[in-house]
Amino acid sequence: MIYFVFAMKSEAEIFINEYGLKRKNSVFSEYSDEERKVIISGTGPLNCSIATTYLLTQNNRGKNDIIFNIGVMGADDENIPGKIYLPNKISNSWNKKSYYPEIRMKNNFTETEITTVMNSEDSYKYKYSDMESYAFFKTALNFFDIENISVIKVKSDNISDHKKIISEDIRNVMKNSFNSINSYTESYRNFLMSYGKDISDIESIAENSPFTFTQKQILKNALKYYMYKNNEIPDIVKNINEKAKSASERKKILNEIIRYIYE
C-alpha cells in the first residue's frame, strides 16, 4: 500500500484522477483503491499530524507499505516553479528541531533542507519552507520505519516575489510534475519490496497453525531459518492443521518439524 498525505485538494487532484481513486466516506477527504490511499489534511502542522494519524490508524499497515507527504513549497532560489525537491533535513520554525529523511534510492530530484512554519507569513524567513512536512514526518515515525517515510516537495513560487498563490497555479505545477513523482513513488515501492524476501507465507502458516503462542514463535523462527537457507518453505509444514488434534500431538508434530529443519 502507498499512503499519500496532501495538504490541499489542488495538490492531490492530479493523483486522484490519474489513479482513478474513489472517494471514501470519512471525516477527512479520503480517496483510495486497492493499492493507494490519499488523505487531504488541510494546511498547517496540526491538521497534517491529525490526518496522518487518522489515515494510519484506520488501516492495517504492512512491512513494505510506504507513506509520502507530497505538496508545494515556497522556495527562494533561481529554479522555476515546478522544480521537484527531496528534503534531506526537515526542521521546524518553532523549536528548530530536525528530522533527516533517508534518501537511499537513486533519483533525479534535487535534495534540500526545508523548514516547516506555523503560518505562511513566516515562510519569507527561510529559503525553502512549507507548512506540513515536519509534523508529517514526526507523526509517521510513530507508525513506520524511517526508510518507509518520504517527503516530496514541488516549488510553487518564488518566496521573494510575495505573490499570492491561487489554486490554479498549484494544480498546474502538480500536473506538470505528476509523471516524475509517480515514477519515483512506484519505483520506491518496488525498491523496498525487492529488498528482502517475502516472508508473509511464514507469518500466515504460523498464525493459522494449531499451536500455542509460544509454539507459533518457535515455528516461525524455524521456518525463517529454512527459508533463508533454502529459499522455500519445507513440505513438512503442509497440512499440519489436520494432523494436530490434541496438545500431545501438537507437541510431537512441532518437535518433528524442528528436528527436520535444523538437522
**Residue numbers of the site for another protein (CB under 8 A)?**
88-89, 98, 100, 102-106, 111, 113, 141, 144-147, 187, 191-192, 194-197, 221-222, 224-226, 228-229, 258, 262
Minimum gap (Å) between residue 96 Cβ and another protein: 9
Nearer to another protein, 41 or 64 (CB): 64
Tell me the three state secondary structure of residue 161: helix
- The residue with cell 527531496 is 86
CB of 194 to another protein, least distance (A): 4
Are 36 and 4 spatial neighbours (Cβ–Cβ below 8 Å)? yes
For residues 39 and 263, what is the distance between their CA atoms, to the nearest angstrom? 51
Calculate ∠ Cα 196-199-203, nearest 5°. 150
Q: Which is nearer to another protein, 175 or 224 (CB)?
A: 224
Residues 139 and 92: beta-carbon distance below 8 Å: no
Residue 131's closest CA among 229, 255, 251, 11? 11
For cell 518520504, name the residue.
150
Measured from the CB atom, is 8 or 223 closer to another protein? Answer: 223
Residue labelled with grid coordinates 518437535: 255
User: What is the DSSP code string of 31-63?
Assistant: EE-SSEEEEE--SSHHHHHHHHHHHHHSSPPPT
Nearer to another protein, 32 or 64 (CB): 64
- Residue reference for cell 498563490: 165
Tell me whether residue 241 or residue 255 sits nearer to another protein (CB atom): 255
Name the residue nearer to another protein (CB basis): 1 or 199.
199
d(CA 183, CA 178): 8
